[in-house]
Structure 1
Amino acid sequence: MSKHSRRQHTRKREDGRGRHGVARALLTLLRTILALAVVAATVVGGYAIYLESHYARIPDDELVQTGKAGAEDAARQLEPGGEYTAATYNIGFGAYTPDYTFFMDEGRMADGTPTRGTSSVATSRESVEACTQGDVSSLRDAFGGEGPDFVLLQEVDVDSDRSHHVNQVKAFEGAFAGYQSVFASNFHSGFLAWPITAPHGRVSSGLLTLSDANVTSATRRSYPVDESFPTKFFDLDRCFAMLRIPVADGHELVLVNSHMSAYDAGGGSRARQLAMLGDVLSSERARGNYVIAGGDWNHALCGSLELYPSRQQVPDWVAVMDDGDLPQGFSVVRAQNLEEVASCRGDDIPYQPGVSYQTTVDGFIVSDNVSATATNVDTGFATSDHNPVALRFSLGNAS
């Protein structure tokens, strides 16, 4: 064999080895990718099974245990014509200092620039405790240093990763000692591993209602929600608590603490929730009872959708509710200072007065036998992304 032929033969063998080497490398890469895909699918599938195993809606129309009060408080009964006070406050699980933003909140600046919150858990345990105490102080200050007769709270955590396991129910019960308390769970989840860099974690949260008058019974009513995958894992087990408080004329004050859906594309869940609540309110009024429903409605109330100065567009999560959406004989109590003070800020950017989107989604709905005035309490959103709403009311003719 000539030298030229030997060189050609050698090159062919080397080319063959090179091609085989590339093929082996590609095969190894493909096997690695497939193995990683199998592992990822196993992890995701296993996590989905885990979440599904921890998902269970609380049945509708369940009695809720009422915390005990002192004998003197338990004997207190409401009187027709008497003047009373109440407050509703979404405390945002103690996370929302003015610079706090939430990862599920999206928006747009006026020029169309998209915005989105980043945080999923409170900054620290100390911050949660400070915000919780600040919330208590705001409620007391709104009524001249004394607590209102009735306190309606939303997003109150019991033992959650996102709030560093601060028991806010215990904190409020301690701050309003002697009040009867009713806690209705509306967010109970397994470990939510999103966002990946700082997971929301396991959540146990709900509605806390405190009463300085005798509560004879309390019921948890389950709102209809979107139970599609994966929305059902991240939305709350929405509900309202309904307390019965006797009045000296033989009727009852039916007090409702409500928190409707927020991240509700198309508004379908909120429409069904509003219809359900309307049926309950009408039924109670037909019995001659006095009815007050307070809470976070996640609807812009009293024409407040674009009422406040802002450099942002109206976010998609805001729906609108007015008296036309309520059953006959019911109305929203318009805050006397509605034009000056909003009850809620957007959580897609840190709070900046005149820049951040604001509206009023918190407040009270009353039956036509209740006379009431309301005030949005200006806290500057110092300890929550909501402001409290204070109510002063009297019970009129129950017929």
Structure 2
Amino acid sequence: MYRPPRPLWKRILRAALSVLLLVALLFVGYVAYLLIDYHRIPDAIALDVADKTDARVRTGEEYTLLSYNIGFAAYTPDFGFFMDGGAESRAASEASVRANMADILAYLPAENDDFLMLEEVDLSATRTYGVDERGLLIDGLSAYSSVYALNYDSSYLFYPFHRPHGKTKSGLLTFSKYHIASSERRSLPVEQSLMKFFDLDRAYTVTRLPAEDGRELVLYTVHLSAYTSDGTVATKQLEMLLSDMQAEYEKGNYAVAGGDFNKDLLGDSAAIFGISGEGQTWAQPIPPEAFDGVDIRLAAPFDPDHPVPSCRNADGPYTPSQFVLTVDGFLLSP
């Protein structure tokens, strides 16, 4: 029996509906993947320490510490990060990552610090083309004892759509010229809304170095949240860290935290550096009351005669008019 062909408009409509159905199924499938695959790294994980020395820290000596968020070796002057309003979700290329790592590995030994606290060190990530930055740093600083902890192990982030950020394993790397007895990864409170897929997991490491006086120097390498919709998350993270440090101090130990706090550590960087921070709500000052009831104090790097920021808002390539501030610093017990 002869059947006349369907009208062209019906065929187009059917094809369009099929495409829409396929897109909807892919979207639902991807959301299901994110929800099923989402996990947090367990709390209180004992970390493997690569110890190179028996030398103990001593009281009465002066030591130097360096805190450095290496930005997964992607932040060249023309880099703008998509989470800050920029265009890039990955480093420019594998060659760019390796070139930046070479510069970092030239800089760190020249500083010759006793302790190094590094953040955003990728172990394996789409955004850095699988380059093992942890391995490069450990090999390049082989005279130091070291310990590494994953900060986050994320699902594949299919955004931005034109060049997805992908899957990321990135973490915190601590180096010491002195004997490390042990180290532990502590999980921080994190966002519970959909922002948890963007801000990812958060943690700090607790690294113990025996001192010659029988006490311990306890180093905390820290990277607090930046991309949260609930401001109380960052407050809870800081409260946990300060409480932990205070407990160590009350035991008689020396507690030092260094890292990227994603806070305006100078209180008003816009006034200090002369560039408006209007609309930049992601980095607020630490409220003074955060230190109520604890003996821990903030040490922010600041030279009033020659102030230098530690961070720029990466909403595009660097320009002199870009908002800058200091988010990197230290917390110290007496």
TM-score range, shorter chain: over 0.9
Aligned twin of 1:364: 330
Secondary structure of the structure 2 residue equivalent to 1:219: strand
| Paired residues for 1:98-117 under 5 Å | 98-105=77-84, 116-117=85-86
Give the whole-Å Cα distance in 2 for the aligned partners of 1:260 and 1:312.
20
Unaligned runs of 5+ in 1: 1-19, 106-115, 369-399
Match of 1:300, SS state, is coil
Give the C-alpha shift of residue 133 in structure 1: 1.9
Shift of 1:314: 4.7
- Does the aligned pair in 2 maintain the 1:245–1:252 contact within 8 Å? yes
Partner of 1:380: none
Alpha-carbon contact 1:265-1:317 (below 8 Å) kept: no
Structure-to-structure mapping, 1:1-399, within 5 angstroms: 24=7, 27-69=10-52, 73=53, 75-105=54-84, 116-141=85-110, 143=111, 147-229=112-194, 231-306=195-270, 307-310=272-275, 313-321=278-286, 323-326=288-291, 327-337=293-303, 340-353=307-320, 355-368=321-334
CA distance in 2, matches of 1:288, 1:250: 10
Q: Does the C-alpha gap of structure 1 residues 334 and 103 become closer, same or farther in structure 2, counting only changes over 3 Å?
A: closer
Report the CA distance between 1:34 and its aligned residue: 3.1
Alignment check: 8 A CA contact 1:304 1:360 kept: no
* Deviation, structure 1 residue 59: 1.2
* Alignment partners' CA distance in 1, 2:25 and 2:167: 21
Aligned-partner residue type, residue 143 of structure 2: G
- The 2-side partners of 1:125 and 1:48 are apart by 29
1:261 Cα deviation (Å)?
0.4
Please tell me whether the aligned partners of residues 255 and 292 of structure 1 are also in contact (alpha carbons under 8 angstroms).
yes
Partners in 2 of 1:129 and 1:169 — Cα distance?
12
* Equivalent residue letter for 1:104: M
What is the aligned-residue identity percentage? Answer: 37
Judge conservation of contact 2:51–2:179 (CA < 8 Å) in 1: no
Root-mean-square deviation (Å) = 2.0
Q: Partner letter of residue 348 of structure 1?
A: D
Alpha-carbon deviation of 1:197? 0.8
Per the TM alignment, residue 134 of structure 1 is displaced from its structure 2 partner at its CA by 1.5
Q: Give me the whole-angstrom Cα distance separating, in 2, the residues matched to 1:256 and 1:288.
A: 16
| Higher deviation after alignment, 178-187 or 359-368 | 178-187
Q: Find the aligned partners of 1:37 and 1:334 in 2 and give their Cα distance.
A: 53
1:68 and 1:288, CA in 2 relative to 1: closer, same or farther beyond 3 A?
A: closer
Tell me if the contact between 1:301 and 1:321 (Cα under 8 Å) persists in the aligned partners: yes
Rg larger in structure = 1
Given that 1:301 and 1:322 are in contact with CA atoms closer than 8 Å, whether structure 2 keeps it comes out as no
**CA displacement 1:331-363 (0-9 Å, x = unmatched):** 11132425520011110021122x010000000
**Structure 2 residue runs without a partner (length 5+):** none
Cα offset for 1:172? 1.0
CA distance in 1, matches of 2:285, 2:277: 18
**Larger RCO: Structure 1 or Structure 2 (Cα < 8 Å, ≥ 6 residues apart)?**
1
Q: Match of 1:3?
A: none
- After superposition, the C-alpha distances for 1:127-155 in whole angstroms (9 at most, x for unaligned) are 111111212333334x3xxx211110000
CA distance in 2, matches of 1:137, 1:300: 29
Q: How many residues end up aligned between the 2 structures?
A: 328
